[in-house]
Amino acid sequence: MTKSEILTALRESGGYVSGQELCEKLQVSRTAVWKKMKQLQEEGYEIEAVPNRGYRIVACPDIIAAEEVESRLCTRRMGHPVVYYEEVTSTNQVLKKLAEEGAPEGTLVTADAQNQGKGRAGRVWMIQPGANIAMSLLLRPQISPARISMVTLVMGLAVTCACRELYGVDAGIKWPNDVVINGKKICGILTEMSMELMAVNYVVIGTGINVNETEFPEEIRDKATSLQLEMGRKLGRAELMACCMKYFEEFYDQFLSTGDLSLLQEQYNGLLLNRNRGVRVLEPGREYSGVALGINKDGQLLVEKEDGSQTAVYAGEVSVRGVYGYV
């Protein structure tokens, strides 16, 4: 009987579950169940034990250890297994090592703290213990390397949908994959790829979500926020991770079935905050303004330039700014 199985059984019941039921379901003795409950209580879970009724979870600490995340997953591949560390340099870096050693597709590395996290454009992405989500997911797709940047958009869409479903919050996407609430960023994604000849060896999608952070450094205060600051309450990280995996698996399968974003384009464009807004496109050596129209099936941003002509902007090569602010 794993911790994950017992947590799932307690959660599924929604109320009390008797010792007898747990014994039968998990094929273990009453003493074994009692010992596991004690162990969970010691780890900070509030579990009520009432004679003749059974056990009930009253409160869970905001733990993101492997069993806690695994017990909430409803996926077949994504998040299997979860590999948890208290502190890492960067979850992307750790997962790349596991990938080299043969870890399977769907492996999810997560950590409570990240001290040398990597952001886009050489920036850093640090995570203090207990506050936010740092997670990296391993994929081994058999597609051309040129299509990989689309997977980053798929994860951005998954995180946005998870936040909307769980918290009913008006989250949207700043192209290509920042998740934004009330004009400020709550999530960034960094995808790294290993190639051999012209084939993809593996892909690591690293996602950082500001969940319970309440203080941001001065220099990013006007463009970064957290779910807690926007929702006004502390939120559970494991639940959010599991929900992101659910959406990602569904969307990724759709992406693989066509090899592009044709099945997701409409949903993505419906959540795209840049849509019909002025953007400034910063390409190496060239800058221009226009109006963002939405993405095409390859994930490129279609921009109508001031002279009326249309251009498709590739993610990765350029950065897009809002004309009046971050979005």
From the CB of 126, what's the least distance to ligand BTN, in Å? 9
Asked if 190 interacts with ligand BTN (CB under 6 A), we say yes
Token pair recorded at residue 198: 């012209």
**Does residue number 6 form part of the binding site for ligand BTN (CB under 6 A)?**
no
Give 300's strand partners.
none
The type of residue at 57 is I
Per rule CB under 6 A, is residue 84 in the interface with ligand BTN?
A: no
> Is residue 125 within the footprint of ligand BTN (CB under 6 A)?
yes
Q: Whole-number minimum distance, CB 34 to ligand BTN, in Å? A: 38
Task: For residue 10, state whether it binds ligand BTN (rule: CB under 6 A).
Answer: no
73: left (phi over 0), alpha (psi -120 to 50) or beta: beta
Binding mask 44-83 for ligand BTN (x = CB under 6 A): ----------------------------------------
Q: Does 92 bind ligand BTN (CB under 6 A)?
A: yes
Q: Does 119 bind ligand BTN (CB under 6 A)?
A: yes
Pick the stretch among 87-95, 217-225, 244-252, 309-317 that binds ligand BTN (CB under 6 A).
Answer: 87-95
CB of 192 to ligand BTN, least distance (A): 9
Residue 210, burial from CB neighbour count under 10 angstroms (0-12, 13-18, 19+): buried
Give me the residue whose beta carbon is nearest to ligand BTN. Answer: 188
Q: Is the Cβ of residue 311 or residue 319 nearer to ligand BTN in the bound state?
A: 319
Q: Which residues pair with 50 in a beta bridge?
A: 54
Please list, residue by residue across 91-112, b when 16 or more beta carbons sit within 10 angstroms of its beta carbon and e when fewer do: bbbbbbebbeeebeebbbbbbb
Closest CB 217 distance from ligand BTN, rounded Å? 14
Query: What's the closest the beta carbon of residue 200 comes to ligand BTN, in angstroms?
Result: 19
Least separation in angstroms between CB 300 and ligand BTN: 19
- In terms of CB distance, is 40 or 134 closer to ligand BTN? 134
8 A C-beta contact, residue 277 and residue 174: no
Distances in whole angstroms, Cα of residue 228 to Cα of each of 168, 181, 235: 13, 11, 7
* 225 belongs to the binding site for ligand BTN (CB under 6 A): no
Q: Are 88 and 111 in contact (CB under 8 A)?
A: yes
* H or E element at residue 176: none
Total residues at interface with ligand BTN (CB under 6 A): 17
- Output the smallest distance, CB 202 to ligand BTN, in A: 15
Q: Should residue 91 be labelled a site residue for ligand BTN when binding is judged by CB under 6 A?
A: yes
C-alpha closest to that of 180 among 272, 251, 118, 249: 272
Choosing from 189, 240, 264, 320, the residue that interacts with ligand BTN (CB under 6 A) is 189
Output 120 or 164, the one with its CB closest to ligand BTN: 120
CB of 262 to ligand BTN, least distance (A): 26
Which pairs with CB-CB distance under 8 Å and at least 24 residues apart come from 161-169?
161/247, 161/271, 162/240, 162/243, 162/244, 162/246, 162/247, 163/227, 163/240, 165/243, 165/247, 166/235, 166/239, 166/240, 166/243, 167/227, 167/231, 167/235, 169/227, 169/230, 169/231
Cβ–Cβ < 8 Å for 275, 269: yes
Beta carbon nearer to ligand BTN, 90 or 212: 90
Cβ 114 to ligand BTN, closest distance in Å?
6
Task: Give the tokens for residue 312.
Answer: 């498709």
Element (H, E) at 34: helix 30-42
Distance CA 28, CA 145 (A): 48
Residues 139-158 that bind ligand BTN (CB under 6 A): none
Binding residues (CB under 6 A) for ligand BTN: these are 90-92, 117-120, 123, 125, 134, 136, 188-190, 206-208
